[in-house]
């Protein structure tokens, strides 16, 4: 599995079943932009659809064609979840994630999952199995997603490349964060797909 250069809007193949598109929302908190992951070919799950940027939404829909079935969100910060509503409206895909955190001024109030994941629940298709792992710390509604066939953990903002994770109370909690990192040692991880690269 390779990482590839980060080029906004360009599709990069990470494995036989996982591709990445980086959103055009560069900044101090997002690096070159939020990473969106597409898992599968015949029935696609999008992980972290990113901001509600029309060009990013169009790029995701073009890459999925008519095969977008699920939209998975790691957490409800505005650089990770707002595009979910537009993608669901355009495709009919099911939105999955965790509860909306209480509004602290940094939550995506538009996020409304059709279904919530339980810890260790799997979304399984003929092409892949994605395991939801509850990882509070960065924020209290955070999930990571393990693409089990690849051992690839899509980390959202739980683990980043080139930067430390921001943990701001009350939704962020350092004790929970350390416990969540330790929890990941119980899983067969071979690679990480962060929500951002700096």
Distance in angstroms (rounded) separating the CA atoms of residues 95 and 19: 19
120 burial (CB, 10 Å; 0-12 / 13-18 / 19+) is exposed
- Is 20 inside any structural domain? yes
**Residue 2 domain flag:** no
Whole-number Å distance between alpha carbons of 45 and 123: 9
Phi, psi of 126 (to 5 degrees): -65, -20
Tens digits of residue pLDDT in 130-149 = 999 999 999 889 999 999 99
Residue 5 lies in a domain: no
Question: Could you tell me if residue 77 is inside a domain?
Answer: yes
Query: Domain total for the chain?
Result: 1
Q: Which tokens go with 108?
A: 């995506």
> 7 in a domain, yes or no?
no
Cα 32 from Cα 124, distance rounded (Å): 31
The answer to the question of residue 72 being in a domain is yes
Residue 14 CB coordination number (10 Å): 20
pLDDT at 161: 81
Which CATH number fits the domain that encloses residue 134? Answer: 3.60.15.10
Q: 56 is in which domain, residue-wise?
A: 12-194
Residue of 40, 142, 52, 39 whose CA lies nearest to 89: 52
- pLDDT tens per residue, range 164-196: 788 888 888 999 999 999 999 999 999 999 987
Residues 43-94: tens digit of each pLDDT:
999 999 999 999 999 999 999 999 999 999 999 888 889 999 999 999 999 9
pLDDT band per the 50, 70, 90 thresholds, residue 111: confident
Residue 3 lies in a domain: no
For residues 68 and 55, what is the distance between their CA atoms, to the nearest angstrom?
Answer: 17
Question: Does 133 map to a domain?
Answer: yes
As given in the structure block, the two tokens for residue 66 are 């008519």
Residue 112 is predicted with a pLDDT of 82
> Are the beta carbons of 48 and 196 closer than 8 angstroms?
no
């Amino acid at each position: 599995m390779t990482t590839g250069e980060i080029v906004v809007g360009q599709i990069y193949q990470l494995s036989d079943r996982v591709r990445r598109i980086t959103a055009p929302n560069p900044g101090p908190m997002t690096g070159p932009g939020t990473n969106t992951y597409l898992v599968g070919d015949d029935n696609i799950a999008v992980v972290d659809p990113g901001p509600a940027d029309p060009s990013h939404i169009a790029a995701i829909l073009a890459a999925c064609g008519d095969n977008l079935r699920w939209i998975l969100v790691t957490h409800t910060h505005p650089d990770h979840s707002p595009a979910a509503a537009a993608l669901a409206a355009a495709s009919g895909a099911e939105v999955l994630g965790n509860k909306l955190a209480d509004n602290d001024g940094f939550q995506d109030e538009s996020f409304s999952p059709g279904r919530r994941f339980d810890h260790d629940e799997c979304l399984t298709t003929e092409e892949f199995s994605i395991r939801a792992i509850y990882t509070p710390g960065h924020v209290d509604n955070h999930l990571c997603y393990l693409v089990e066939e690849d051992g690839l953990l899509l980390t959202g903002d739980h683990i980043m490349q080139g930067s430390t994770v921001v943990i701001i109370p009350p939704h962020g909690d350092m004790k929970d964060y350390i416990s969540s990192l330790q929890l990941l040692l119980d899983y067969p991880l071979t690679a990480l797909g962060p929500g951002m690269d700096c």
